[in-house]
Amino acid sequence: MVNLEWYRTFKAIYDKGTLTAAAEALFISQPGVSLHLSSLESYVGAKLFDRVSKKMIPTERGKVLYNAVIDPILRLETIEKQFQKSNEIELPTISIGMCFETFQHILEKHLHTLNFNVISSFSDYQNLLRELEKGIVDVVITPKKLDIKGINYVPIGKETIVLIGSMDIDKGDFISAIKTKSNADILLFLREQKWYGASSDNEHFKRFWKSNFNSLPDFRANYIVPNFKSIINSLSEGSGLAIVPDFLCENEFKEGRLQLLWEGSFPIVNQLYFAYRNNSTYKKRLDEILDIFKANMN
C-alpha cells in the first residue's frame, strides 16, 4: 500500500524544484526525500522527475500525478492545521443566527468589541432554531418561539411592522384619508404609489395588508431589492412606500430621511427573543452578546 507521506514529499519536490529544498521544507534528510520519491516512482511504475543540473524537472507523468493529488493534499494540510495542538490560548467561536438586517443594524458595529470569534448565519427562523437545538449555532435572534426542550428565550425588544414613506409624501393628508375615507379609496391611493419590496421576505407585507384590509395585496412592488436595509437605503433616496420593521428605520426617522406614516389600525407587534441552549458552555460570552442586543433594541 502507498505511504501517504510519499505524496507530501512528491509535492514538496515539485514545488521547491530540488531535493535539498524539499528536505528543508519537510524537516527530513535529503536521503529520506530520495527514498520517498524512489518508492513512489516504483509504486506508480513511471519516472516522475528528470534530474537536470541538480534541478528536478517533472515529467509528463509527474505533471499528471501532481494535478491529481494537489487538491486532496491541500485539504489534508488544512485539516492538519485545524486539529494541530497549539500552545496558544484558543479563542472560542460563537455562532449566531439571525436575519441579515438585524445583524447589519445591531451586531455589525459591535463585533470589534467581542474578545472571541463570531460566525453569523442567516436563514429563516425555524431552520435556525432547529440548528440551535442540534448545536450547530449557539444563539438565535428570533420573533418566533418553538417548543424545543432545553432552549431558553430571553425577551430583548419588540418590532412593529409599519408603513414608511419618503419625505415628499404628505403625512397629514394620508392620516386624514385613513380616518375619513373608505378602504376602497385608501387602497386606490396606495396602489398609485411606487412601492419597494424585499425579495428575501414578503411575509411582513402580506401580514400588514391582511390585518388592515382583510385581504392580500393584489399588486407587486415596483422595486424588488435584496432585504429591508436595501429598501430603507433606496427609499431614503427615492419616492414611495414600503412596509418594514420600525426599529430598522430609527436613524432615518431621526435624520429626516424617511417618515413613519402608519402603524396600521391593528398594529403588528413582534416580540424578539434571544434564544440559547440551557447547557451552553459559553454562558459568559452569550451574556456579552445579549447585553448588546438589549442595549440597542430598547
Question: pTM for this structure?
Answer: 0.62
Instruction: Give the pLDDT band (50/70/90) at residue 181.
Output: confident
Domains and CATH numbers, the chain: 4-83 (1.10.10.10), 93-157+271-297 (3.40.190.10), 159-269 (3.40.190.290)
Pairing between strand 93-97 and 139-142?
A: parallel
User: What's the CA gap between 258 and 252, in Å, rounded?
Assistant: 5
Q: 130-144: per-residue pLDDT in tens?
A: 999 988 899 999 998
Confidence at residue 132, expressed as pLDDT on a 0 to 100 scale: 92
Range from 89-93, 111-115, 222-226 carrying the lowest mean pLDDT: 89-93
Query: Mean pLDDT over residues 243-267, rounded?
Result: 92
Query: Mean pLDDT over residues 30-57, rounded?
Result: 90
Judged against a pLDDT cut of 80, whether residue 69 lies above it is answered with yes
Judged against a pLDDT cut of 60, whether residue 86 lies above it is answered with no
Confidence at residue 107, expressed as pLDDT on a 0 to 100 scale: 93
Which is more confidently placed, 217 or 114?
114
Judged against a pLDDT cut of 90, whether residue 277 lies above it is answered with yes
Query: Mean pLDDT over residues 98-108, rounded?
Result: 89
Return the C-alpha cell found at 170: 404628505
Residues forming a β-bridge with 96: 120, 139
Confidence at residue 36, expressed as pLDDT on a 0 to 100 scale: 92
Judged against a pLDDT cut of 60, whether residue 88 lies above it is answered with no
What's the angle, vertex CA 241, arms to CA 238 and CA 244, rounded to 5? Answer: 110
Confidence at residue 239, expressed as pLDDT on a 0 to 100 scale: 93
Confidence at residue 1, expressed as pLDDT on a 0 to 100 scale: 63
User: What's the CA gap between 268 and 161, in Å, rounded?
Assistant: 6
Confidence at residue 201, expressed as pLDDT on a 0 to 100 scale: 65
Query: Mean pLDDT over residues 217-243, rounded?
Result: 90
Instruction: Say which amino acid occupies 69.
Output: V
DSSP assignment of 46-64: S--EEEETTEEEEPHHHHH
Judged against a pLDDT cut of 60, whether residue 89 lies above it is answered with no
Judged against a pLDDT cut of 70, whether residue 296 lies above it is answered with yes
